[in-house]
């Protein structure tokens, strides 16, 4: 897969992040039903109300009527590529359908790629009493 368009879009939207407290800017770009949707983190003084870049991007896709997640890129200026938090992993899994999207984590010098199921195994098993996805 050619990750450059998603990674480039994620870096671009990262510049729009609202992170006055942590100073930690994150960008995410998702391919959903063939279209690219982006999001950046939006902090709040009450940290529990902060929205992560991945959830902002997925919400934008849903608002546009798109729901089938195909690929994810997450970027930040960190020593090693960052990984989505548990809440973001679960939200992404909600829109993975029967698929197992690729997730690219990138910083300025490195990229690593995982399947979403590697980051969140058994996302639906037990919680909703659904059969485990293969």
Q: Which residues are identified as catalytic?
A: 54
| Burial (Cβ within 10 Å: 0-12, 13-18, ≥19) of residue 28 | buried
Among residues 129, 63, 76, 69, the alpha carbon closest in space to that of 94 is found at 69
d(CA 53, CA 58): 9
d(CA 134, CA 122): 9
**What does R_g of the chain's alpha carbons equal in angstroms?**
14
């Amino acid at each position: 897969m050619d990750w450059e368009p998603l990674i480039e879009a994620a870096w671009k939207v990262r510049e729009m992040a609202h992170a006055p407290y942590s100073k930690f800017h994150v960008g995410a770009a998702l391919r959903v039903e063939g279209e690219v949707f982006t999001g950046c983190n939006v902090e709040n003084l009450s940290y529990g109300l902060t929205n992560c870049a991945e959830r902002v991007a997925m919400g934008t896709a849903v608002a546009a009527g798109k729901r089938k997640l195909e690929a994810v890129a997450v970027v930040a200026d960190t020593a090693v590529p960052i990984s989505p938090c548990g809440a973001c992993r679960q939200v992404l899994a909600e829109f993975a359908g029967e698929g197992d999207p690729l997730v690219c984590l990138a910083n300025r010098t490195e990229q690593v790629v995982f399947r979403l199921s590697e980051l969140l195994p058994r996302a639906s098993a037990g919680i909703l009493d659904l059969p485990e996805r293969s």
